[in-house]
């Protein structure tokens, strides 16, 4: 279908990699290409998660590419053929207003609460990363939705129950990494009756300790106070610092540590990261090896499905 309005031409086209290469040669004044984003788009294209939305590739009256360099570069990398809407003969001045609208967040696109998405991001970073310092797995909205749906199928709305039980934004203890640790702990066998009251106690603005709170809670509070300048700054960091906070949470929610009076977190770091990796493998069917390669493994039964 071709629409021609005021000289601007709109046409749906099937684009092959060779054509994409030619169009990319007409790309002279676009923004800097973001290679990581290209790889993520290419991965989505190969997995069948890149859909025709009608969002066009745009060219000006001289044939220069105004919008679409990342999609075209991903098409070349994925080496597949896809349909795109193509708009040509635009006045070059429109480049200044392209992508100036309010972008949709991952939570908007997945239609999942933002604080759940943040926890899922941590779980994917910890559970599917290669283990290299600062490494962060590439995620798409489809990864987030798949994790959310399969968690609910297996364990019921465990993540939502964590969020509902204590929805605080308290620094560190209320972070996405601690939230993720609570979800992983319950999904890998810890009792909700142990994890959730402890979580609420830690994120409460007034540290509302409950009767029978295990000694480990106060041990970790004091440890955090000692390392406050170091640890409060890491919770919003990349994959490696998220993992560091996640390990604190896993240590807290591990009932085997309930009576400790001196926390040795690094001694259990590998164990807790391993638990998250196997949970992600069990739920999503893949795990990332230390070399960064994705390996399909047999699902591992961790606990009985949640019954409503």
What is the structure's pLDDT at 134? 36
What is the structure's pLDDT at 129? 62
Q: Per-residue pLDDT for 173 more than 70? A: yes
Hey, how many other C-beta atoms are within 10 angstroms of the C-beta on 154?
A: 18
Average pLDDT over residues 56-74: 91
Verify that 167 and 281 share a domain, yes or no: yes
Q: Percent of the chain beyond pLDDT 70?
A: 72
What is the structure's pLDDT at 133? 33
Q: pLDDT (tens digit, 9 = 90+) per residue, 195-234?
A: 988 888 888 755 555 667 888 888 888 888 776 555 544 4
Higher-confidence residue of 278 and 239: namely 278
Judge whether 303 lies within some domain. Answer: no
As a whole number of angstroms, the distance between CA 6 and CA 177 comes to 53
As a whole number of angstroms, the distance between CA 261 and CA 255 comes to 14
Verify that 81 and 111 share a domain, yes or no: no
Verify that 87 and 236 share a domain, yes or no: no
Q: What pTM, to 2 d.p., does this model score? A: 0.63
Domain containing 32: what range? 2-91
- Buried residues in 41-79 as b, exposed as e (16+ CB within 10 A): bbbbbeeeebeeeeebbbbbeeebbbbbbbbbbbbbbbe
Reduced to 3 states, what is the DSSP secondary structure of residue 293?
coil
What is the structure's pLDDT at 184? 93
Q: Per-residue pLDDT for 24 more than 70? A: yes
State in Å, rounded, how far the first CA of the chain is from the last one: 50
Verify that 182 and 270 share a domain, yes or no: yes
Residue 75 sits in a domain of what CATH number? 3.90.1530
Dihedral (CA of 308, 286, 35, 13) sign = negative
166: exposed, middle or buried (C-beta count within 10 Å: 0-12, 13-18, 19+)? buried
Q: Per-residue pLDDT for 296 more than 50? A: no
Question: Left (φ > 0), alpha (ψ -120 to 50) or beta: where does 156 sit?
Answer: left
Predicted confidence band at 298 (pLDDT cuts at 50, 70, 90)? very low
Judge whether 156 lies within some domain. Answer: yes
Domains: count for the chain: 2
């Amino acid at each position: 279908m071709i629409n021609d309005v005021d000289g601007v031409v709109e046409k749906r086209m099937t684009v092959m990699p060779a054509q994409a290469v030619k169009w990319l040669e007409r790309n002279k004044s676009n923004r800097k290409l973001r290679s990581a984003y290209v790889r993520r788009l290419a991965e989505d294209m190969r997995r069948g998660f890149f859909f025709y939305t009608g969002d066009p590739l745009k060219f000006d009256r001289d044939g220069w590419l105004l919008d679409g360099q990342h999609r075209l570069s991903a098409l070349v990398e994925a080496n597949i053929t896809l349909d795109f809407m193509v708009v040509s003969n635009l006045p070059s001045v429109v480049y200044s207003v392209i992508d100036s609208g309010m972008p949709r967040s991952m939570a908007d696109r997945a239609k999942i609460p933002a604080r759940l998405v943040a926890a899922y991001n941590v779980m994917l970073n910890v559970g599917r990363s290669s283990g290299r310092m600062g490494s962060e797995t590439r995620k798409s909205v489809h990864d987030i939705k798949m994790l959310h749906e399969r968690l609910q199928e297996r364990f019921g709305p465990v993540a939502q129950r964590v969020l509902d039980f204590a929805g605080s934004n308290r620094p560190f203890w209320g972070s996405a990494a601690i939230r993720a640790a609570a979800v992983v702990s319950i999904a890998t066998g810890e009792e909700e009756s142990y994890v959730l009251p402890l979580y609420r106690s830690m994120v409460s603005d007034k540290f509302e300790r409950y009767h029978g709170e295990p000694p480990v809670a106060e041990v970790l509070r004091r440890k955090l106070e000692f390392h406050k300048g170091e640890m409060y700054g890491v919770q919003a960091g990349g994959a490696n610092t998220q993992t560091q906070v996640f390990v604190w949470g896993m240590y807290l929610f591990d009932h085997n540590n309930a009576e400790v009076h001196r926390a040795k977190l690094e001694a259990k770091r590998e164990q807790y990261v391993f638990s998250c990796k196997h949970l992600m493998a069990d739920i999503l069917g893949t795990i990332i090896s230390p070399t960064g390669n994705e390996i399909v493994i047999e699902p591992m039964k961790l606990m009985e499905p949640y019954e409503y």
